[in-house]
Amino acid sequence: MSQESWINGLLPDAIAHLIKCRECPRAANTESGLNLAGKKAVCRVLDELISILFPGCHGHGPARAADLDAELRHQLCGTALALKGQIRRALEYQCTIDDCEDCNRCEQKAEEAVAVLIQQIPEIQDLLQHDIDAAYEGDPAARSTMEVVMSYPGVYAVIVHRIAHVLYSQHIPLIPRIMSEHAHSVTGIDIHPGAQIGHGFFIDHGTGVVIGETCEIGDHVKLYQGVTLGALSFEKDEHGHLVKGIKRHPNLGDHVVIYAGATLLGGQTHIGHHSVIGGNVWLTHSVPPGSKVYNQQPRPHIRQADGSWSIANGEWNDPGAGI
């Protein structure tokens, strides 16, 4: 018996099922169907956009100063055309989901969306410069802004968000979410492309941060790792289906700081400007400007080498007391 013979008998049923699945336009991406761009193709365009925003910093080598204008022009043109094609395919796919009539406007909508993104590149760069400065000034371990740009996961996640948010605001399906989930997979930071985020935004460390779709975040806000800005509950219609497009996530005012592990939930939860939310706080209601919200400080018991016990305020207890 050959090494392949044992599996040959298993293949026909599996292949027949897979072929049937490929004929479903909502479950497969084939050249005979809508031919959506793959995830890697979208991420490739995203990488190109980031290298355009930061020439030489996120590529494979330094940018050439002598012909930087021509190089950027060539790179931007190719990236814009590639992105336009992917957006058109995403729009065509969404039309099948929405049972859209054949309006023949997907090409035009894709062109308009890319045009808006290109026109907003100066604004995106300005926003990101404020974000980079906030990261550098907010982290005593940072040695330079270039270190922040090239290595900080929180900054990378925000860069991706600034790009994805522009496309989301143009009602482009699929592409913004692929971009944000790519950043999520790379950094552990989950920012929905719909979130509205002001300038000077800094996520320190970052792992485990979640920012929901309808969050509105002011200027000069700082989050630490493990912070969740999420939904308190999910409203359903009379048929039991989730209601989409409603306000579900908190708002943060300017100059808010939220420490590690805090969870803020609900669309009616507003955190006033210049407030501080302590670590591991669970908050489902609004607080006024200038608030400081902390959990009650725990008093850990520490057993010493001689068998005696101490507590946080420095008093000594009889070994075994209260144990």
Of 291, 256, 288, nearest to 269 by C-alpha is: 288
Of 226, 109, 116, 218, nearest to 165 by C-alpha is: 116
pLDDT, greater one: 197 or 99: 197
Res. 24: pLDDT tops 70? no
Predicted confidence band of residue 27 (pLDDT cuts 50, 70, 90): low
202-240 burial: b if 16+ Cβ within 10 Å, else e = bbbbbeebbbbbbbbbbbbbbbbbbbbbbbeeeeeeeee
Predicted confidence band of residue 92 (pLDDT cuts 50, 70, 90): confident
Residue 199 backbone phi and psi in degrees, to 5: -85, 165
143-172 burial: b if 16+ Cβ within 10 Å, else e = eeeeebbeebbbbbbbbbbbbbbbbbbbeb
Gap between the Cα atoms of 304 and 219, Å rounded: 47
Q: What tokens appear for 19 in the block? A: 């072929």
% of residues, the chain, pLDDT over 90: 62
Structure confidence by residue, pLDDT tens digits, 66-75: 777 888 888 8
Q: How many residues does the chain have?
A: 323
What is the average pLDDT across 99-103? 71
Looking at the chain, the domain(s) classified CATH 2.160.10.10 span 208-323
Of 134, 137, 81, nearest to 110 by C-alpha is: 81
Is residue 305 exposed (0-12), middle (13-18) or buried (19+ Cβ within 10 Å)? exposed
Predicted confidence band of residue 91 (pLDDT cuts 50, 70, 90): very high
Res. 54: pLDDT tops 80? yes
Res. 135: pLDDT tops 90? yes
Class of domain 34-188: mainly alpha
Contact 248, 264 (CB under 8 A): no
Res. 191: pLDDT tops 50? yes
Structure confidence by residue, pLDDT tens digits, 243-287: 888 999 999 999 999 999 999 999 999 999 999 999 999 999 999
Averaged pLDDT of the chain: 88
Strands (E), 154-311: 190-191, 196-197, 202-203, 210-211, 216-217, 222-223, 228-230, 251-252, 257-258, 263-265, 270-271, 276-277, 282-283, 292-293, 301-303, 309-311
Cα angle vertex 149, ends 145, 152, to 5°? 105
Predicted confidence band of residue 323 (pLDDT cuts 50, 70, 90): very low
User: In this predicted structure, what is the pLDDT of residue 158?
Assistant: 98
Res. 312: pLDDT tops 70? no
pTM score, whole prediction: 0.85
Looking at the chain, the domain(s) classified CATH 1.10.3130.10 span 34-188
What is the average pLDDT across 184-200? 98
What is the average pLDDT across 171-196? 97
Segment among 3-12, 40-49, 88-97, 300-309 with least mean pLDDT: 3-12
Strands 263-265 and 251-252: unpaired
What is the average pLDDT across 63-83? 85
Cα distances (Å, whole numbers) of residue 39 to 81, 89, 138: 17, 13, 34
208-323, what's its fold? UDP N-Acetylglucosamine Acyltransferase; domain 1 (2.160.10)
Res. 15: pLDDT tops 50? yes
